[in-house]
Chains A and B, each alone.
Chain A
């Protein structure tokens, strides 16, 4: 039986998928996850989830959007006003730009 493993690095972080382990039951899965995924990397907590319990929808099934030009949705579009007057607005815009960059990179890699 395959168990997907999610690792959280620090308290308050998201659990991020980091791999999977073979194990006959939940207890063993937790033990193997510790050994394989919790030893070297900074770890606060691990989740193990039976692989068949994970539902997936991918690009074969659907289009996730982002192909239509929705420039109006992004802070960076509004160039006649500036974001720097409030740090939280600047931060939000920076996060959006970072996402846009990742998306562009993914598209060039396709």
Chain B
């Protein structure tokens, strides 16, 4: 299929491994889904230590269930990415362990206290959920199928995250202050979750033209702010004075780009920060520690009738 046909036919769940997709499409989809899969792994790893720090048994159960879900989402997504025939699952996991694989900006920052948990569990997950809901209508069918299951589970994650926020913000003054402190720190990163504004984004046009993305960075950021700013205020969180974020009359928001630290964002995007080294290193250690499991699995005879994925090029 040539690129023009792809753009003409682009629509929800239009293309599957049976279609002969042009390399540009397969590469763009691989980049997007691999990034998504990597982010599920790295988000899970960032949160994992807090299973131990959970303040009650209920929280511990829910939180470990959530981390388990995130790793499961990564598995689904690596499959969806692999079906494009550009990279194997193993290649993608190795790229992640060696610092070549890219992932979400928010998961490069260290997380130190329980007060930070709702920053990820409510705001970042909420932002991710907003984005993922729109990807149920992505043009790569295996990706859309993965989103069906991911979105089914995420409702629990976000509500649990909000419940932790509610608990902290209706608790002691000290807790409220702690949460406000970490909110000031996390809020700019959360705004950057959706990437640069549309006029500054590099991949946006192509991904939208071929139906991989169905909403632009700005549209997603607006939808997120409309739902989550009122929530932050409801729990008594104050938005920091900078970055400046102002609400328009028509349900859209202005984010003042120069108030956000894009140098930091792009350094992090290249996996080149203290946090990046630490998080990626931790993932690499795990990968090596369970190498023997993969080894043992690969000694088994191949299962099934051996239908082969689309050839890599």
Contacts and interface: CB of A to CB of B under 8 A. Distances in A.
Contacts of B304: 53
Interface in A55-82: 70, 72-75, 77-78, 80-81
Contact of B145 (A14, A90, A91, A93): A14
Interface string B54-86: 000010011001000000000000000000000
Given A86-B130, A92-B152, A73 B62 contact: yes
B156 A96 contact: yes
B158 interface: yes
A96 B152 CA distance: 7
B141 A12 contact: yes
Interface of B: 12-14, 58, 61-62, 65, 126, 129-130, 132-133, 141, 144-145, 151-156, 158-160, 162-163, 166, 227-228, 230-231, 304-305
20 contacts: A11-B14, A14-B145, A72-B58, A73-B65, A73-B156, A75-B156, A75-B158, A78-B159, A81-B159, A81-B166, A87-B133, A88-B130, A88-B151, A89-B154, A89-B159, A91-B155, A92-B129, A92-B155, A92-B156, A95-B152
A68 B302 CA distance: 34
Q: Which of A74, A78, A88 has the most CB of B within 10 A?
A: A88
Contact of B163 (A78, A88, A90): A78
Contacts of A73: 62, 65, 156
A89 B8 CA distance: 32
Contact of B166 (A80, A87, A93): A80
Contacts of B231: 85
Ranked 7 nearest A-B pairs via Cβ: A12-B13, A92-B155, A88-B133, A75-B155, A72-B62, A78-B159, A86-B227
B84 to A, nearest CB: 16
Interface in A35-59: 53
A83 interface: yes
Contacts of A11: 13-14, 141
Interface of A: 11-12, 14, 53, 70, 72-75, 77-78, 80-81, 83, 85-93, 95-96, 99
A11 B137 CA distance: 12
Q: What's the dominant secondary structure at chain B's contact region?
A: helix
A90 to B, nearest CB: 8
B151 A83 contact: no
Contacts of A12: 12-14, 141, 144
Given A12-B13, A93-B155, A95-B152, 12 more contacts: A12-B141, A70-B61, A74-B156, A78-B156, A80-B163, A80-B166, A87-B133, A88-B155, A89-B126, A89-B155, A91-B155, A99-B152
Contacts of B166: 80-81
Contacts of B156: 73-75, 77-78, 92, 96
Contacts of A88: 129-130, 132-133, 151, 154-155
Contacts of B227: 85-86
Contacts of A78: 156, 159-160, 162-163
A83 B159 contact: yes
Contact of B129 (A72, A77, A89, A96): A89
